[in-house]
Amino acid sequence: MVRAVVILALLTLADNVLTSALPIALGPEPPQTPGFWNLTTTALILAVVSDLIGQPILTYTTYHYNFRHAITLNILSITVAAAASLVLSFWRTDGIAWTFAIASAFKIIGGGSHATIFLTIIGIRDKTSGSLRDQLANIKLHSTCLIYTTGAVVVLSQTIAASAGPFLAAQSLVLPYIFSIICCSLAVFVVNFQVTAEDLTSGREWAGDACTQPLLSPALASHDTSSAVPLGFIRTYSNRWQNKPSTIRNALKLLGLVFLLAAIAKATRPLFITYIQHRVGITPSEASSLWLIRTVMSLVTFSTFLPTVVTLWSKNPLRLTGTLNLYIAKISIVLLSFGAILIGVARTRPVLVSGLIINTLGVATDLALLSFAADAVPDSIAGFFYMMIASIESAGTLIGIGILYPLYQMFLDDNTPLGGIPYYVCGVCVHIASFMRIANLK
């Protein structure tokens, strides 16, 4: 488990340093303000599209091989994007600044850090069983605590990268890309740490780390030759899907819809700092401080509050973890939607801060649903399901950019309540569509 979390932290750092350094690499002209159709947005769209293509490749890899092969491919993908940016930095001129935006498209090989999150959760979910589950029970922890902890790791890594990327780029344009390559190299070292030739031959690599063992048992991995091609691979999972009870299929379909709608809403996150400066009239430093408050709250929620709740809940052996996760998801999504609406309505600092705090309290929605799915998803389709959710989330982000960015541009300077339309759309969409469907999950 420790190695899986370390890999997640390193790859999140590597990928987000590339993203945070991009505006400096592109230069001040044309303006790279978030939410407008410029090179920054182009790079974001290309990154999401590359995730959409790279994540199915990882799905195929986890099915035919194991976690080690999939995460290695993911590392290679981010490394190639960083290396491409590094090479371009030596020939940078104002005339080819746009080529930096294209570098993110190289993550088509195996996705970016978004895919890393789901690969890590797959490992945690798949291997918190047997002796490991007994060990965790002795200290009142289990897979739910581990999954929530990944949220803290991701938030902390993203925060560090958001500061490190611009700082390194200000010193030298090549430093962010060198830093990313170093992080990826360290991740490769962690992946292969203490893996012997005998382990590789016998297929027992990562045997000492429960979160990084092969995702499929030998019985499931011994597929016929028809599944050795993508069409057979899809057919195999389709058959397994149809063999599951209708209640399970319906629940998983609803989860997919929830993640799609939530991803559409989350497309506004990169716009928050510039949005509140225009709408409420606060300074850039105040806006950054508010975002820092959100970051600290998220860290406390993921690293302390939710694990404590899970621990207390688990003291009663009759209480199911899946039930708790569903409660957390239902409460979180109400807070998420209500907070988004408050942010849209806000014209004063107190209302804005209240909306931000309430919205942040709902930050656990995604991980709560993924933890709930850990109990509901059968082993035979677990890897496929989680990576499919990753692709659905990427698709939702792409749709959100297409819908919310034009609304953001259209109403940014509107001093009436209509100026908050992007956040109204987020709040109403998540509350009406997602919450009603979560309420149907049992």
Domain-embedded: residue 214? no
Domain-embedded: residue 230? no
- The reply to whether 143 and 5 lie within a common domain is yes
Residue 321 near residue 313 (C-beta atoms within 8 A): yes
Place of tokens 């998540």: 430
Residue 430 near residue 262 (C-beta atoms within 8 A): yes
Q: What six digits make up the tokens of 69?
A: 């092969």
Q: What six digits make up the tokens of 91?
A: 């020939």
- The reply to whether 249 and 391 lie within a common domain is yes
- The reply to whether 132 and 274 lie within a common domain is no
CB atoms inside a 10 Å sphere around CB 324: 20
Residue 110 near residue 118 (C-beta atoms within 8 A): no
Domain-embedded: residue 226? no
- The reply to whether 26 and 168 lie within a common domain is yes
131-170 confidence digits (pLDDT tens): 444 454 443 456 778 889 899 999 999 999 989 988 898 8
- The reply to whether 28 and 121 lie within a common domain is yes
CB atoms inside a 10 Å sphere around CB 374: 24
CA distance 67 to 383: 10
Place of tokens 């993921």: 302
Domain-embedded: residue 261? yes
CB atoms inside a 10 Å sphere around CB 201: 9
CA distance 212 to 93: 43
Across 238-309, the runs of DSSP E, i.e. the strands, are none
Domain-embedded: residue 323? yes
Full domain range(s) for residue 27: 1-200
- The reply to whether 181 and 297 lie within a common domain is no
| Ramachandran quadrant class, 197 (left: phi over 0; alpha: psi -120 to 50; beta: rest) | alpha
Domain-embedded: residue 309? yes
- Picking from 16, 43, 8, the residue whose alpha carbon sits closest to that of residue 165 is 16
pTM comes to 0.83
Q: What is the pLDDT along the chain (442 residues), one digit of tens a residue?
A: 677 889 999 999 999 998 888 777 666 555 556 667 777 788 788 889 999 999 888 888 887 777 788 899 999 999 999 998 888 777 765 545 666 667 778 888 888 999 999 998 887 776 654 444 445 444 345 677 888 989 999 999 999 998 998 889 888 888 999 999 999 999 999 988 755 443 444 444 443 443 334 333 333 333 444 444 455 545 555 555 555 545 556 666 778 888 888 888 888 888 888 888 888 888 888 888 999 999 999 999 999 999 899 888 888 777 777 788 888 888 888 888 889 889 988 888 899 999 999 999 988 888 888 888 777 777 777 778 888 889 999 999 999 999 888 888 888 777 777 778 888 888 877 766 555 555 555 5
At 125, phi and psi to the nearest 5? -65, -40
Q: What six digits make up the tokens of 418?
A: 């209509």
Domain end (from 151, 173, 200) = 200
Q: How many domains does the chain have?
A: 2
Q: What is the pLDDT of residue 154?
A: 94
Residue 322 near residue 372 (C-beta atoms within 8 A): yes
Q: Any idea what the CATH number is for the domain that residue 28 is in? A: 1.20.1250.20
- The reply to whether 156 and 243 lie within a common domain is no
At 203, phi and psi to the nearest 5? 80, 20
**DSSP type of residue 432:** I
What is the C-alpha end-to-end distance of the chain, expressed in Å? 29
- The reply to whether 244 and 381 lie within a common domain is yes
**pLDDT, averaged across the chain:** 77
- The reply to whether 109 and 52 lie within a common domain is yes
Cα 31 to Cα 23, 24, 28, 342, 426: the distances in Å are 9, 11, 5, 29, 26
In 3-state terms the chain splits into helix, strand, coil percentages (rounded to 5) of 80, 0, 20
- The reply to whether 341 and 436 lie within a common domain is yes
218: buried, middle or exposed (CB in 10 Å: 19+, 13-18, 0-12)? exposed
- The reply to whether 165 and 261 lie within a common domain is no
Domain end (from 150, 179, 200) = 200
Domain-embedded: residue 179? yes
396: buried, middle or exposed (CB in 10 Å: 19+, 13-18, 0-12)? buried
- The reply to whether 379 and 278 lie within a common domain is yes
Cα 226 to Cα 139, 222, 235, 364, 442: the distances in Å are 45, 12, 9, 40, 36
- Is residue 92 classed as helix, strand or coil in its secondary structure? coil
Domain end (from 180, 200, 220) = 200
Domain-embedded: residue 348? yes
